[in-house]
């Protein structure tokens, strides 16, 4: 906006019409005092100021405006009809004017000057606003950096206090912070601890996870610099996201060597115990079977019923010992999978018939989906073991509903078999643990017998077939256990 200050209404009228005809927004004042009041209240890009005014002339108005921070930067063009001497013109520039125009005024020249000074002022104001915004942004960034540094320092202090080896990596996978425990296993911040020759390479495994943007969990043996001994550690490396991008990584090495030793001793005990139990149990079963045959010669023997029940319990004990032997084989890497082309449908039918014969007439098994009546490579005995386990669990954990669905699906890559029951179900947060060794859901551990190793064995069997295994469940509505086998 342009402010015209003149005590002559005719001059104001002609100047106002000239500027408004060229799209300028114009305000007017008929005295110096009125001009000062308006200048302090409004924002002007240019002031056209008459020199000869009563009470307060233009020079006094300009000097007063220069004393206020709000108005000192406003460009002023003086207009004068009589004061054309050099000393007056000099006084005009000294009092804050940027130009001194004498009357009579050439409208075109005045208009060009107004446009020039107006645009210069608008550009100056825009530059100042930009500068102020930049200063605010710089201030905000400095405050953010200070806050971030404080948070990082606090985070590093937390990592220093951890009993584990803790470290962070930047988005490129380069180590940029380690806590003091790191130097027990590595002399350099940039080098990962040395791993056992038989274990995975940490950098190689991490690069694979970094490319996929996935967290990594790995059991490795790393060498202690002082003792030169390898100790088992659980390595976890998790990405930290900023939006959709990975900002950095946080990792820890947790010492699990003592835990691994306890597990090894336990596995050795289970292996020895199961082998030692197997021999006398085989003899007990053989003698009991001989006794059963002898008693069957005389149908009137009431003892035959007790012998048959004894054989049932012997079979259950034998099954438990067999599972323990399988666990021992898995832990020692001796669980053998003998794959050869087999008809999956015939194996599935065999498993269903076994369950129906051993579980009574109350169980109802419905088939859904396309029957996998084709040959694929798999271990017939082990896959039947998985199917029987799924079906047995479906019956066991559905005491009030004996209906079971067996669904099969196949595409060009794999075949999928799922077993659905309508029993007690499994809470969502516990489903990821059901395939772990000796894990049992608390809600069912007291009501239903078992050691919690059946699903673990199934999981290992499917893994060795390069398939997948999983579960989906809703408490009170039932569960669906499934596995897949690759066609090739």
Same domain, 352 and 444: yes
**Residue 175 belongs to a domain with what CATH number?**
3.30.450.20
Contacts for 119-125: CB closer than 8 Å, 24+ residues apart: 120/75, 121/45, 121/46, 121/73, 121/74, 121/75, 122/45, 124/73, 125/45
How far is 374 from 487, CA to CA, in rounded Å? 10
- CA distances to 32, 359, 444 from 394, in Å: 98, 12, 13
How far is 350 from 355, CA to CA, in rounded Å? 9
Does some domain include residue 71? yes
Same domain, 380 and 472: yes
Check residue 367 and give its pLDDT.
94
Query: Cα 36 from chain centroid?
Result: 62
Same domain, 249 and 286: no
Domain extent at residue 177 = 162-255
Same domain, 186 and 286: no
Share of the chain above pLDDT 90, in %: 26
| Model pLDDT for residues 156-193, shown as the tens digit of each residue | 888 888 889 999 999 888 998 999 999 999 998 888 99
Check residue 406 and give its pLDDT.
95
pLDDT at 42 over 80: yes
**Residue 293 belongs to a domain with what CATH number?**
1.10.287.130
Does some domain include residue 149? no
Check residue 83 and give its pLDDT.
53
Domain count, the chain: 4
Q: Which of 305, 331, 357 is the last residue of a domain?
A: 331
Same domain, 166 and 301: no
Check residue 446 and give its pLDDT.
44
Q: Are the beta carbons of 175 and 189 closer than 8 angstroms?
A: yes
Does some domain include residue 140? no
> What average pLDDT does range 111-119 have in this prediction?
79
How many contiguous H segments (helices) and E segments (strands) does the chain have?
A: 12, 17
Check residue 376 and give its pLDDT.
93
Average pLDDT of the chain, as a whole number: 84
Check residue 161 and give its pLDDT.
83
| Model pLDDT for residues 15-37, shown as the tens digit of each residue | 888 888 888 888 888 888 888 88
> What average pLDDT does range 128-150 have in this prediction?
83
- CA distances to 100, 101, 123 from 113, in Å: 11, 10, 15
Check residue 93 and give its pLDDT.
65
Q: Are the beta carbons of 124 and 75 closer than 8 angstroms?
A: no
**Residue 387 belongs to a domain with what CATH number?**
3.30.565.10
Same domain, 347 and 318: no
Does some domain include residue 139? no
pTM for the full predicted model: 0.48
């Amino acid at each position: 906006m342009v402010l015209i200050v003149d005590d002559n209404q005719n001059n104001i009228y002609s100047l106002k019409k000239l500027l408004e005809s060229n799209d300028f927004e114009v305000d007017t004042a008929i005295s110096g005092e009125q001009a000062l009041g308006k200048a302090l209240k409004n924002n002007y890009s240019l002031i056209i100021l008459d020199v000869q005014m009563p009470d307060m002339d233009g020079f006094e108005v300009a000097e007063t405006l220069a004393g206020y921070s709000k108005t000192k930067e406003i460009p002023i063009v003086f207009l004068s009809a009589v004061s054309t001497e050099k000393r007056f013109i000099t006084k005009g520039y000294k009092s804050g004017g940027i130009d001194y125009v004498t009357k009579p005024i050439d409208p075109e020249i005045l208009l060009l000057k107004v446009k020039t000074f107006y645009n210069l002022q608008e550009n100056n104001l825009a530059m100042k606003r930009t500068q102020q915004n930049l200063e605010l942004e710089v201030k905000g960034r400095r405050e953010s950096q200070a806050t971030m540094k404080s948070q990082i320092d606090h985070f590093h202090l937390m990592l220093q206090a951890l009993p584990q080896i803790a470290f962070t990596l930047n988005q490129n996978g380069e180590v940029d912070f380690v806590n003091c425990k790191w130097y027990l296993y590595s002399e350099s911040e940039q080098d990962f601890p040395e791993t056992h020759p038989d274990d995975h390479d940490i950098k190689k495994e991490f690069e694979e996870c970094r490319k996929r943007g996935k967290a990594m969990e790995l059991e490795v043996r790393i060498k202690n610099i002082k003792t030169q001994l390898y100790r088992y550690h659980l390595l976890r490396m998790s990405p930290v996201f900023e939006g959709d991008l990975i900002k950095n990584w946080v990792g820890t090495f947790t010492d699990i060597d003592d835990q691994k030793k306890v597990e090894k001793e336990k596995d050795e005990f289970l292996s020895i115990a199961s082998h030692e139990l197997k021999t006398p149990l085989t003899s007990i079963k053989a003698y009991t079977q001989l006794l059963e045959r002898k008693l069957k010669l005389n149908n009137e023997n009431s003892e035959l019923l007790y012998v048959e029940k004894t054989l049932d319990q012997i079979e259950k004990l034998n099954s438990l010992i067999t599972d323990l032997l399988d666990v021992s084989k898995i832990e020692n890497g001796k669980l053998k999978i003998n794959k050869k082309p087999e008809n999956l449908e015939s194996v599935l039918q065999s498993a269903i018939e076994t369950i129906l014969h051993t579980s009574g007439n109350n169980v109802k098994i419905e088939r859904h989906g396309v029957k996998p009546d084709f040959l694929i490579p798999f271990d017939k005995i082990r896959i039947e073991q998985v199917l029987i386990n799924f079906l047995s669990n479906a019956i066991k954990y559905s005491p009030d509903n004996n209906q079971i669905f067996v669904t099969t699906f196949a595409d060009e890559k794999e075949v999928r078999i799922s077993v659905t029951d309508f029993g007690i179900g499994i809470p969502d947060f516990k489903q990821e643990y059901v395939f772990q060794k000796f894990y049992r859901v608390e809600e069912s551990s007291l009501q239903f017998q078992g050691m919690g190793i059946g699903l673990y064995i199934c999981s290992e069997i499917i893994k060795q077939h390069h398939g997948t295994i999983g579960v989906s469940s809703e408490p009170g509505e039932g569960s669906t256990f499934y596995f897949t086998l690759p066609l090739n």
